Structure 1
């Protein structure tokens, strides 16, 4: 059987992207939508989710909404089960919702630690479990977990964030170990330093930006649209035999010392 270039297309697939009201999540929704997927915008705020979905529809992308908080296990299970019953199957899940907190480790507040873990790690577990139970019954599905260069590298002031993203990388491998036999591919997509609102303080720090550009072989910050190609690949049939892997999209940052 020869290679089919059409295997990269996502026509007829539906992709739920958590935390897709802005930033990387919104750009990934655009990318998956451009490849043919109908996207499901997720936010805690219904009005915001609806506004983003309307914006995408105006751009020619099929868009629906699923309103839930990734830290509310009971609520998100109900929302996902209801969506599957009333709207249709979720073929692709992108676990994108995440937060950042910065402080010296010795001074890091316990409340901030727990907030990071609830969103960045527990949220991935809860949403994946809710969606995978439906995927298992269909014996197919794609899960893309948004990891980070901090899944592999540490930096001062964000040790707890690195811990949460390192755990997501290993949870991704665990999903592969558990769910590959059910026809599900679970992989990680690990951005390097991208120009997003979450990184605004670092972007505005001239000394940090200069250090980053020298440290990164590509010599610059990433642009959020540069994540879309890898996301489309991992969401498509072209990656059907790739499982439990993490693709670093970082301008070469993790490849050099």
Structure 2
């Protein structure tokens, strides 16, 4: 018998590892996973911010903070054994990210290395190490990995070459891992937010001319909100998305798509109001990106 609709979206009995869960999109995604029934392991630089942990515990779910410096390769390499010592994660949400803005001609090596380590290398290390654990779990559906890419996975942006390069890498990494793991019961997908009103975009919002230009190209006429992302992360973490993999879903964009051909590794470009049922990729279609503007 097929699972009921509520069961397809239930995360009861599952544990999710979440990076970047102290604020913004990551916090709302972590809380949404808990609302669907998951216990949450929050990976944080320190334990000073307990807002998300408190919100999760108020829902009756378990929340654990494990500290790690995600900009340190050695710290990240030691993280998964610590997690697995007391948890059995079947969901991984890689949401942590940083931004550095400089003209490309004078972009410092130190900032390039910092952004690439935090936004790409750490994502790979956690996917590799926690993914290896998921592959040992009972099947057929062994785990779900959700990476946070960006609209800048597809657009270069302005004065953010390291961020654009890292997020482009996250999109391709998502596809590469899915090519290997989808048939083994580990689904790997990515969500690529567009212009969202978070701390990372404070500089853009404060630039009145740039903000007006951005808003003029968003069909909804507003910046996205972290709250917009609860539904999609629960869907990608649960049984309802069992046949969806390699999707890179972009929210709040000025882009358009066409759908044709066969294949996987889709890039689904949707406005923030698009229904999840419009996602391409799980049905074997490939989306192509057109009308890209900076």
For this structure pair, what is the TM-score category when the shorter chain's length is used for normalisation? over 0.9
User: Are 1:254 and 2:255 matched, yes or no?
Assistant: yes
2:21–2:27 Cα contact (<8 Å) kept: yes
Cα separation, 2, equivalents of 1:54 and 1:2: 35
3-state SS of paired residue (1:46): coil
TM-score normalised by structure 2 residue count: 0.81
| CA displacement at 1:36 relative to structure 2 | 1.3
Q: Which runs of 4+ in 1 moved over 6 A?
A: none
3-state SS of paired residue (1:137): coil
Q: RMSD value over aligned CA atoms?
A: 1.8
| CA displacement at 1:3 relative to structure 2 | 6.3
Cα shift readout 1:10-60 (whole Å, capped 9, x = no counterpart) = 111111111212221111111111111111111011343x55413431354
1:92–1:235 Cα contact (<8 Å) kept: yes
2:32–2:230 Cα contact (<8 Å) kept: yes
Taking the TM superposition and a 5 Å limit, the aligned residue runs for 1:29-68 are: 29-48=30-49, 50=50, 52-68=52-68
1:149–1:191 Cα contact (<8 Å) kept: yes
TM-score normalised by structure 1 residue count: 0.92
Aligned mate of 1:206, from 191, 205, 208: 208
Q: Where does residue 98 of structure 2 map in the other structure?
A: 99
Unaligned runs of 5+ in 1: none
Cα separation, 1, equivalents of 2:2 and 2:222: 38
Cα shift readout 1:216-246 (whole Å, capped 9, x = no counterpart) = 1111100111011111110011111111111
Higher fraction of helix: 1
2:53–2:63 Cα contact (<8 Å) kept: yes
1:147–1:168 Cα contact (<8 Å) kept: yes
Cα separation, 2, equivalents of 1:166 and 1:51: 31
Aligned length: 254
Unaligned runs of 5+ in 2: 257-289
Cα separation, 2, equivalents of 1:192 and 1:29: 19
3-state SS of paired residue (2:112): helix
Taking the TM superposition and a 5 Å limit, the aligned residue runs for 1:156-167 are: 156-167=158-169
3-state SS of paired residue (1:81): helix
Q: Closer, same or farther in 2 for the Cα pair 1:59/1:200, shift >3 Å?
A: farther
